[in-house]
Structure 1
């Protein structure tokens, strides 16, 4: 099994108990970056996921596809979640992770790319209205209507 396939499985099966064994998937000084965090090292990566699990319920990643090899790969995923105060699941957030592997097959760098404004903020009443308004103003469709 390739390093990318192993990591995709780890990522998709990640649970709070797995935070004790992040060293199975990441090297000691691995970098993890997403729209809210940019950390280096296992302790920093652990804090990111601890924070995620502390603020969400039913959080899980669904890996939709993977492309790459044992040096570099990309995972396209859906993040399924519910905030602790929610009664139902939120719409899944779609993203892509660029993953660089060390010689031993563990992750050296994991960088997430996803649209926080369109995928996450839009799901909240006040922020969603602001994001939709901003999107309308910046859209090429609004420019063509004005001209």
Structure 2
């Protein structure tokens, strides 16, 4: 679903993420500011080239990654995108549910992109070997019913 939004820069970012393919990385500067900061559970980088490397690595490491933006909250300089990232890893289809906080500069480019998603639940628990350990740890740390 491509979210419709009254703010042109937010709508442009949503469309970019939903349609992103490796060839689109050449247009990253249309969406991100030159000194944009990108932070997610695995990365914390500043600068357009560093952000480009993160997306290039995503396309190299994952099979057919696609973002589906399910909700957009915000206006003016800030937006939160609620998304599903669908991809395959070694032939196994996976989905990660998450959210991104985007802060836009005065030119309407992303100056800050901060992703929020639970690596334990959304990724590690779905993988062989580490998944069994992650699920066991989650059970061990969960509050027992009735407490």
More helix by share: 1
C-alpha displacement of 1:123: 1.1
Tell me, which stretches of 5 or more residues in structure 1 are unaligned? none
The 8 Å contact of residues 63 and 78 in structure 1, kept in 2 or not, is answered as: yes
Structure 2 equivalent of residue 105 of structure 1: 108
C-alpha displacement of 1:89: 1.6
- Tell me the SS of whatever aligns to 1:140: coil
Matched residues in 2 for 1:89 and 1:63: separation? Answer: 18
1:95 aligns with 2:101: no
Matched residues in 2 for 1:137 and 1:130: separation? Answer: 10
C-alpha displacement of 1:62: 0.3
Matched residues in 2 for 1:141 and 1:82: separation? Answer: 34
Structure 2 equivalent of residue 43 of structure 1: 49
Question: Once superposed, which parts of structure 1, at least 4 consecutive aligned residues long, lie more than 2 Å away?
Answer: none
Structure 1 equivalent of residue 133 of structure 2: 130
Tell me, which stretches of 5 or more residues in structure 2 are unaligned? 1-5
**What do you get for the CA RMSD once the two structures are aligned?**
1.3
The 8 Å contact of residues 136 and 142 in structure 1, kept in 2 or not, is answered as: no
Matched residues in 1 for 2:146 and 2:42: separation? Answer: 31
Alignment counterpart, residue 10 of structure 1, candidates 16, 19, 25: 16
**How many pairs were matched up?**
141
Question: What TM-score, normalized to structure 1?
Answer: 0.91
Matched residues in 1 for 2:137 and 2:145: separation? Answer: 11
C-alpha displacement of 1:70: 2.2
